[in-house]
Structure 1
Amino acid sequence: MTSSLLFAVIASGFIYGITPGPGVLAVFGIGAARGRRAGAGFLCGHLLGDVVWCSTALVAIVGAREIGSSAFDVLGVLSALYLFWLGIRAIRTRNRSSEAPQGAARQPFWHGILFGLTNPKAYPVAVATFTALLSSRAELLTWAMLPWLIVLSFIGGLVAYAILIGIVGARQVRTVYQRHEVLITKLCGVMFIGFAINALAHALPGLMGSKTS
């Protein structure tokens, strides 16, 4: 495994974990109501869902690559379109999200597990994020690497969650986040569109080449 692939997988897990979404909004809501310890408990439970969805996404990505480069390129285009759609939605956000829980969870850890495993956005976002960041190194992906890919994405997610736990209990950070939540969401939308463009840049030439050959 090359150093660039290693970094890309860790970065994918990190970005997937730290990008504002239902899980991040939930932990800020729980942290605001019950403090850092409750937020950390929620994230520890939520991490199980992240491992499941990221592992499933990586299986799909490696499987598409092993089937053939065209299948991976198609997956790349679909992922890019999904990321672009998410980006546009985020940029058009005008009001604060209502996806944060209304009130603190009584059992943050178990609430995190249930939340992480049942989040309907988890799998498509994981596939789209990992495909966008790994598309330039698709030729390196094999089934033998899958355990390491899962471990590295887990490490990236741990780093993201450590940062979230560190800031969720800080009143100033929480206040800034809540005050500028719409702006942060819009900036994440721009980032998603950037990932979409990157995925298209690597997928479209392969598809066009296969059609002309």
Structure 2
Amino acid sequence: MTPSLLLAVLASGFIYGITPGPGVLAVFGIGAARGRRAGAGFLCGHLLGDVVWCSTALIAIVGAREVGSSAFDVLGVLSGLYLFWLGWRAIRTQRRSSDAPQGAARHPFWHGILFGLTNPKAYPVAVATFTALLSSRAELLTWAMLPSLIFLSFVGGVLAYAILIGVVGAQRVRTVYQRHEILITKLCGVMFIGFAINALAHALPGLFGSKPA
């Protein structure tokens, strides 16, 4: 595994874990109500869902690559379009999403497990994020690498959650996040669109027979 591929997988797991979404909003709500310890419990439980969905996404990505470059390119185009749609929605955000989980859970750890495993957005976001960041290194992906890819994505997610746990209990951080939540969401939307452009730039030439050497 090359250093660039290693860093790309680590970055994918990190970005997937730290990017604002239902899970991040939930942990900020729990942290605000019950403190850092409850927020940490929720994230530790949620990590199980992340491992399941990221593993499934990596299996799909490696499988598409092994089937043929065209299958991977199609996956890249679909992922790029999905990320662009997510980014555009985030940029147009006007108020807090009504479906964002709020308040504290009685059992944060078990709530995190259930939340992580049942989040309907988890799998498509994982596929789209990993595809966007791994598309330029698709030729390196093999089934033999899958355990290492899953482990590296897990490490990236743990690093992201360590940062979240560190900041979720700080009053100043909660205040800044609540005050600038819309701006943060819009900036994440710009980032998603950047990933989408990257995925499309690598996938479209392959579909039309003009992929650079």
TM over 0.5: yes
CA separation in 2, counterparts of 1:6 and 1:162? 20
Q: TM-score, structure 2 length as denominator?
A: 0.97
> How big is the shift at 1:84?
0.3
CA separation in 2, counterparts of 1:203 and 1:151? 26
Count of paired positions: 211
Q: Which amino acid aligns with 1:25?
A: L
Q: Which amino acid aligns with 1:54?
A: C
Moved more, 95-104 or 14-23: 95-104
CA separation in 1, counterparts of 2:147 and 2:89? 34
- In structure 1, runs of 5+ residues without a counterpart are none
Task: Check the 8 A contact 1:29/1:100 in 2, yes or no.
Answer: no
**Pairing 1:68-79 to 2, within 5 Å after superposition:** 68-79=68-79
Q: Which amino acid aligns with 1:115?
A: F
List per-residue Cα deviations over 1:54-82 (Å, max 9, x = no partner).
00000000000000000000000000000
> How big is the shift at 1:96?
1.6
Give the root-mean-square deviation of aligned CA atoms: 1.1
CA separation in 1, counterparts of 2:98 and 2:158? 26
Task: Check the 8 A contact 2:30/2:102 in 1, yes or no.
Answer: no
Deviating beyond 6 angstroms after TM superposition, the runs of 4 or more aligned structure 1 residues are none
Q: Once the two structures are aligned, what percentage of the paired residues are identical?
A: 90
Q: TM-score, structure 1 length as denominator?
A: 0.97
Aligned to 2:47: 47
SS of 1:98's equivalent in the other structure is coil
CA separation in 2, counterparts of 1:127 and 1:47? 17
Task: Check the 8 A contact 2:41/2:109 in 1, yes or no.
Answer: yes
Task: Check the 8 A contact 2:74/2:203 in 1, yes or no.
Answer: yes
Aligned to 1:196: 196
Aligned to 2:64: 64
> How big is the shift at 1:207?
0.5
SS of 1:209's equivalent in the other structure is coil
Aligned to 2:134: 134
> How big is the shift at 1:97?
2.3
> How big is the shift at 1:103?
2.3
Q: Which amino acid aligns with 1:42?
A: F
Task: Check the 8 A contact 1:65/1:71 in 2, yes or no.
Answer: yes
Aligned to 1:110: 110
